[in-house]
Amino acid sequence: MRKMLLLFVLILALACTGRAAQTAAEAEQYYTQGKFSAALNLYEDELKNNPNNPYVYYNIGNCYFKMGSTGLAVANYYRAFRLAPRDADIRHNLSLALQSAGEHLVPGGVPQVLHQLFFILSYDELKGIVMLCLGMSSLLLCLGIIKRRWGKVLWFCLTALAVSGGWLYARHQQEKLPLAVVASPTAELRSGPGTNFPASANLTQGHLVILQDSRNQWDEVVVKTQGIQGWIKSSSLEKI
């Protein structure tokens, strides 16, 4: 009975893998034929099974970009970038999509190399590094307390812990930033949550904004590049 159950699970797993491969091949075929909408549907189905796969987000971003929806493309590239920041293709496409909206991935004045170094590890990997440093430091500290001897290795581990901890804190600030992107072709920035407030700016799709508040289907935002604040209709934004 047990063997039967194992066999069933194995067959099910193989069937799922085969189906996923078939879907990926079908989506690629649609993409190469220029049927981006059909490919997008398949990738969005795939996302339900793999919600943390950066490549699925990347492929969805590609479909949106080709369909002219730069805003939705930026949102999906950004999700992929958060999960796999070392991937050169994701970085390239995100930079290109942001450029088309007048935004930049690397903030002005920051060297490209430094930015790449800062994002060399994913947020989860960085947490693992911090945990490793914490574990080694903790054990060496205990040993030192008992033996009343503080070796060089302990100091090295404590320094590594401080550096990785600071890095994790800085990344945490980035990760938890409530970012959104303008997804509709244009969006009006108003001084209050309603159309009876005057519009102060017009934003094209792909602009990054930081969410501040929300009220009656309107979001208060700060436009990242301009630093100006205002209210935008929630339906015009895609939260990252």
Task: Report, in Å, the least distance between residue 144 CB and another protein.
Answer: 9
Task: Report, in Å, the least distance between residue 108 CB and another protein.
Answer: 21
If the CB atoms of residues 53 and 234 are measured against another protein, the closer one turns out to be 53
**CA torsion sign, 37 to 38 to 42 to 43?**
negative
Task: Report, in Å, the least distance between residue 29 CB and another protein.
Answer: 11
Task: Report, in Å, the least distance between residue 72 CB and another protein.
Answer: 13
Look up residue 110 and give its two tokens: 């920051």
Residue 206 zone, left/alpha/beta (φ > 0; ψ -120 to 50; rest): left
Compose the 163-202 pattern: x for residues touching another protein by CB under 8 A, - for all others. ----------------------------------------
Contact positions with another protein (CB under 8 A) in 16-35:
24, 27-28, 31
Q: Is 44 in the site for another protein (CB under 8 A)?
A: no
Contact positions with another protein (CB under 8 A) in 105-124:
121-122, 124
Contact positions with another protein (CB under 8 A) in 68-87:
83-84, 86-87
Q: Distances from the Cα of 59 to the Cαs of 64, 175, 180, in angstroms? A: 9, 22, 19
Contact positions with another protein (CB under 8 A) in 209-238:
none
Task: Report, in Å, the least distance between residue 18 CB and another protein.
Answer: 13
How far is Cα 98 from Cα 178, in angstroms, rounded to an integer? Answer: 18
Residues 47, 67, 132, 210: which binds another protein (CB under 8 A)? Answer: 132
Residues 47, 67, 134, 210: which binds another protein (CB under 8 A)? Answer: 134
Token pair 């994790």 is at which residue? Answer: 168
Residues 38, 47, 67, 96: which binds another protein (CB under 8 A)? Answer: 96
Residues forming the site for another protein (CB under 8 A): 24, 27-28, 31, 39, 53-55, 58-59, 62, 65-66, 83-84, 86-87, 89, 92-93, 96-97, 121-122, 124-132, 134-135, 138-139, 141-142, 145-146
